[in-house]
Structures are given as structure tokens and as C-alpha cells.
Amino acid sequence: TAGITQAPTSQILAAGRSMTLRCTQDMRHNAMYWYRQDLGLGLRLIHYSNTAGTTGKGEVPDGYSVSRANTDDFPLTLASAVPSQTSVYFCASSDMAEGDTQYFGPGTRLTVL
């Protein structure tokens, strides 16, 4: 079982360009999340989706958008990247049947220049 995968592993992006970070899970979890992790800060929630077809804003949603067309995929889009979006991005999924324990992907390291 792959669990949860993210792509790309890392990316360098010019400011102003757009980019989509991909996230796929094969555990049939109902909920999915996007976090960013910055040095000295705890993981911060960007957007979440409690079930396919629904999304919600987290603590730091500005500059990001998400969609949840199906259970397995939860892409994160940066429409016009800025240097402050340089971070490591983690996708996670969870299911109430497993106590909402979040399973994290390996992360995408994004550098915006």
C-alpha cells in the first residue's frame, strides 16, 4: 500500500508563476489536509476537505486554492507564487474510523525566488 504520495518532491519556482502540488491517497480516507511547515513554527493548516466535493479554509489559506473532485486526490494550487510561500508542504489524510489520526505524505519542498 502506497499510503499517501505527493509530487513533486521539490521544486524551484519563479515568483509570479503558478504551480499545483499533487497529493493522492489510496486509503479511502474521507478527510484530507494541506499543511505548510516552516522553520521554528509548528505545522499550519492551509486548507482541508472533510469529504469529496467539500473544502474549507485553514489557518493560512491566502494565496492557495484546493479542489476535491474525488476521494483520492487533493491538489493544492498556488496561482501566483510569492517568496513567502517558500516552505515544505505536507498533505495528510484521516478517517474517523481510525480516530482521525492523520497520515502524512513525504512532503514537497518549494522554493519561490
Partner 1 sequence: KNQVEQSPQSLIILEGKNCTLQCNYTVSPFSNLRWYKQDTGRGPVSLTIMTFSENTKSNGRYTATLDADTKQSSLHITASQLSDSASYICVVDLQTGANNLFFGTGTRLTVIP
Contact 34, 107 (CB under 8 A): no
The burial class, CB within 10 Å (0-12 / 13-18 / 19+), for 49 is: buried
CB of 24 to partner 1, least distance (A): 14
Q: Is 14 in the site for partner 1 (CB under 8 A)?
A: no
Closest to partner 1 by CB, 59 vs 70, is: 59
What is the nearest approach in angstroms of partner 1 to the Cβ of residue 80?
A: 26
Whether 62 contacts 52, CB under 8 Å: no
Q: Site map for partner 1, 50-69, x if CB under 8 A?
A: x-----x-x-----------
For residue 43, how far is the Cα from the chain centroid? Answer: 11
Q: Which of 31, 76, 81, 110 binds partner 1 (CB under 8 A)?
A: 31
* Burial of residue 42 (number of CB atoms within 10 Å: 0-12, 13-18, 19+): exposed
Site string for partner 1, 73-92 (x = CB under 8 A): -----------------x-x
Q: Scan for cell 492523520, then name that residue.
A: 102
Residue 94 binds to partner 1 (criterion: CB under 8 A): yes
**Beta-sheet pairing, 108-112 with 10-13:** parallel
Residues that bind partner 1 (CB under 8 A): 4, 31, 33, 40-45, 48, 50, 56, 58, 90, 92, 94, 96, 99-107
